Structure formats: C-alpha cells, structure tokens
A and B are shown apart, each in its own frame.
Chain A
Amino acid sequence: MPGSLRLIRNWDALGFMLIVAFLGAVAVLILFALHLLFSGPYNKGTNLSSLSDTLRDTEFWRSVKRTLLYSLCVTILKVLLVWPIAAAFRRSRTVFAWSLLLPWIIPSAVSSLAWLWLFYDTGGGANLLVRALGHSEIAWLGLPGTAFAICMLFNVWRELPLWALALSPSLAGFRGSLASLATIDDLTPFQRFRLLVLPRAKPVLTVLIALSFIWASGEFESIWVLTRGGPGEATELLTVYAFRHSFLSQDISRGAAAYIVFTPIMALLLVIIGLYYTHTLRRALQ
C-alpha cells in the first residue's frame, strides 16, 4: 500500500499528528510573541526596554488591579445569583427554559451594543425610567463607578445562564435516606442548601469559578464596545491596555510585555483554584 494511503488509513497517526501540529502552532505563536517583546519598542533593536517600561508603568499596574477586581467581583456575583436560574432549569426542560440561554448565545459584541443603548445618556431606556421616576438623567457610562458596575453586570448577565445550566443537576431532588434526614432534622431551606446542595455542587462550581476568572481576565469586546476603557481609564482592563498600546500606539512589544508580566499572576490564581478542586474531589470521594 502506498505510504500516503497507509497514513490516511492509520487514524491513530492522524490524531497524533493533529495534536503535534496544534501544539507546535501554539509554541510558535508563543515564541513569536516573545520575539516581539524582546525586539523592543516599535520593533527596533533587541532589548528588554518594553518589559522594564511596563513594569515601571503605574497605569499597567492599575489595569492589573482593575482586572483582578473585575474578575473577582463578577465571579462572586455569579456564585450568589446563579441558584434561582439553576432551579428554573431544573424545573423546566423545554424550549422556554433554553430561552434563558439567549444572553449567552448572542454574540457579546451585539449584546454589548444593546446594553450601550440601554444606558445611553439620551434616549436610553435606563434614563427614560429615571426621568419617569422624576429624577434627572444619569451619565451611566460617563461616571467611573457606574461604568465599571455596568461592565460587571453585563458579564454576569451574559454568563449566568451557562452557570445555571451547569449547576442545575446539583439541585436534583434527593432520594432515600438524604431526603428523609432533611425532613426529620427539620432543616431550613438555607441549611438544606448548605449541607446537601453545596457539597454536591462544589466540583462543578470550582471549574466554573476557574473559567470565570480566565474569561473575565480576557474580556475585551464588551469593555471595548461599552466604554473603550473609559471614562478616563476607569474600565481599562489589561486587554484594553494591551490593545491600546499594541494597535493604537503601534507598540506591539508593550502589549506582549503586559501579558508576560500578568500571566504568572493568573497562573498562580489558577493553581490555587486547581489545588482546591483536587482537595474537594478527594473529600467527595472519601
């Protein structure tokens, strides 16, 4: 059999080659990004000035702090608010329930525009409501505090359905001894949640928390559409900082440097979450 036909018929080899090709492409991109970093500002010379400039840039550290705060807040909000929607998924398994997934299915850029219009200064729905209540219009996206809050709320609104779907099996009814115990012991709903639901939900919840951190720290399109990182730099997360330096200021090495510095911070957070996940699984198995 000719060599090429033998290769095609050997699907194991194809699978292996695809993995190697994919990981090879990723490695090349990482190395190229590092090359861009070390080629210095505006691709002139070979030095570490972009890295040192980034480390000395207070604006960079403010964007890191903002990114971590944003990731933490949206994750906490999701953990607190997910349960009613998860219960709704559990109760109803119809197209109607799947409609709750709509915010997640719609492209983020499209729904960001919807939110931008909702909170627009003049003519936006939020200010029409505010005026109907007898107050003057609010520059929702023009004030640092409200702009940051709206960006966070958007993230929560968008990803909550996915969380609810993933956690809905944890709310399944308990049968047998657990159900009897809950009734005999006269547990309050909160106690049932804490003692029965939460332990069951912990493994999935930990994965969702890790994903929330990853996705939130990489959030770009909603921030760019809603505020462009403003007002001032109130909503400038690391992604917007990197984008602004790389593509608007044409200093790609600064953008790469920002991520070189931020990646270990993120990796440390994920390691902590991963260790907690392993610990949770071990306890669940015992």
Chain B
Amino acid sequence: MLGLLILQCAPLFWTFRTSFRSESGLFIDAPERSSSLSLSNFIVLFTKTDYLRWLGNSFTLAISSALLATICAVLITFFLIFSQGSWQRLRDLVMISYLLPAMFVVFPLQNLLTGTSERIRFWSLVLVYQMFLLPIAVWVTAAYASRIPRGNIVLAQLDSLDSSQRFRLVYLPYARGGFSVTFVISFLIGMQEYLYNFVLTHDEGSKTVTTALASLQAGDVYKWAQISAAGSATILCCLLLLVIGGRAVTMAVLVSLGEKEWN
C-alpha cells in the first residue's frame, strides 16, 4: 500500500521538492542540499502573482456550476422517476450528450461569445460547464433515486399526491444521500476543467488555476521553481478537498456503477 502510494505520488513529490528551491539552484550540476530550502517561491507566488485570484476563480466557478448541476439533476431525476415509458429515453439522451467531444462544442461557443465582455464570458462558464457536469450529476442522482421502491412510486400516484408531497415523502428519503455526493463530485470535476476556460476567457484576471499556471512561463523559459510552488499549493488544496470529499467521490463512483454503498 505504502509502495503504491509512493509510486503514485512520485511526480508530485518532485514538484513539491522543487518549490522549496531557488530558480538558479535547479540547473547546477551539484543540486543544492536541503539546507538551502526556502519559502521565497511561495512568498512571490502569493504576493507578486494573481494566484489567489485564480484559485478564487476556480472555486467560484466550481461551486456555482456544481450547485446548478446538482439542483438541475435533482429536479430532472425527480421528473424521470415518476414518469413512465418513453420519457425515460430523455435520461438516455442526457447521458449520450456527454459523449459530445468538448473540442467540438467549444467552436460554436467561442463564436457565440465573440464581442461579449470578459465578465459575461467568465460567468457564462457556469452554464457551459453543465455540458459535462449535468450528465454526470444526473447519473449519480439517478443511481440514488433508483433505490426508491417501485411500490412507493405507484402508491404515491394512486394517492394522488401533488409534486411537492411526492418530493418530500417519496423522493427525498431515498435520494437525499446523493445530493451532497453529486455536489462534491461535480465540484471536483468543475475544479479540473481546462479547455473551456482556456479558449473562452482571455483576461488574466478571469483565468482559473488550471489555465493560469502556464502564464508563469516567460516566452520559452519555464520558471520551474515558481510553477512548482503554484503546483504544490494547488496539490495541497486538492489534498484537503480529498480529505473532506474523498468519501463522496467513493460513493459517487460505486453507487453510480450499481455497487452497494461502501461502508
């Protein structure tokens, strides 16, 4: 187990180690020893670059788009659970839309957003992210909602319960375990998005961490110490997110694949 973890984390460890070294010390023949470690790269990162703004942008987009995806997925799944017959095909269509290549979708999006302000471009990403977040969110919430006993659904229809009663008395007790799981998995996937942000936003201030790190290079020269510091800070954030949301990720993957809850 420890061996696997070391193997998986080796590339990340190299970045982490570099982030405490000076830029000049990276390329001399005899690498500096650990006594010359310093936090200067992190100080420059947080004071002289827009890293915190980029991180804020990543979180803002991820939280907003995950919230929207979760709410939409809950309502969509609620509709599908109580609909019959060919309406179920709509869920398949939503899932199939996930197969649409992102690169194919980005062309028309870029055309549509030409001439709009940077602010509009940035906030439009919340809607754009639904292209890949909504199918995943529907998949996860549907997996939880599929646990509702068929008898409960039939009884609810026979008793002529209105939609809010059905939601509260039939849907919520079984499906609510999936709400937080859906939100967390959507948030984590939203944090990772690169292509749409790369193509659709231009201003440095609108960039997310994923797209902005490359801007730390100067021409053909990579400032590896600084890039490593930014990478390490992001990795630590992700580690924290994993500690908080690791169980949700596990649930999302296992439950949506039809496995029983991992306890």
Interface of A with B (CB < 8 Å)? 9-12, 14-16, 18-19, 22-23, 26, 29-30, 32-33, 35-36, 84-85, 88, 91-93, 95-103, 105-111, 113-118, 120, 122-123, 125, 128, 157, 160-162, 165-166, 169, 203-204, 207, 214, 217-218, 220-221, 225, 238-239, 242-243, 246-247, 252, 255-256, 259, 263, 266, 270
Task: Assess the B100–A11 pair: CB atoms within 8 A.
Answer: no
- In the A-B complex, the 10 residue pairs with the closest CB atoms: A15-B79, A98-B246, A32-B108, A221-B194, A109-B210, A15-B75, A114-B15, A259-B104, A125-B14, A107-B192
Enumerate chain B residues within 8 angstroms of A259, measured Cβ to Cβ.
Answer: 101, 103-104
Provide the bound-state CA to CA distance between A217 and B163, in Å: 42
Q: Would you give the shortest CB distance from B71 to chain A, in whole angstroms?
A: 9
Task: Assess the A95–B246 pair: CB atoms within 8 A.
Answer: yes
Question: Chain B: which residue is nearest A32 at the CB level?
Answer: B108
Provide the bound-state CA to CA distance between A221 and B227, in Å: 16
In the assembled complex, B41 has its CB within 8 A of some CB on chain A: no
- Listed A/B pairs (15) with beta-carbon separation below 8 Å: A11-B167, A15-B80, A30-B104, A105-B188, A105-B249, A107-B234, A108-B194, A113-B227, A113-B231, A115-B11, A117-B227, A118-B11, A118-B14, A166-B257, A204-B257
Task: Assess the B8–A207 pair: CB atoms within 8 A.
Answer: no
Q: Would you give the shortest CB distance from A22 to chain B, in whole angstroms?
A: 6
Task: Assess the B8–A16 pair: CB atoms within 8 A.
Answer: no
* Binding site secondary structure of chain B: helix
Number of interface residues of B (CB under 8 A): 82
Enumerate chain A residues within 8 angstroms of B76, measured Cβ to Cβ.
Answer: 15, 18-19
Residue with the highest number of chain B CB atoms closer than 10 Å, among A33, A113, A255: A113
Question: Given A98-B246, A101-B242 in contact, is the A114-B11 Cβ separation under 8 Å?
Answer: yes
Enumerate chain B residues within 8 angstroms of A35, measured Cβ to Cβ.
Answer: 108
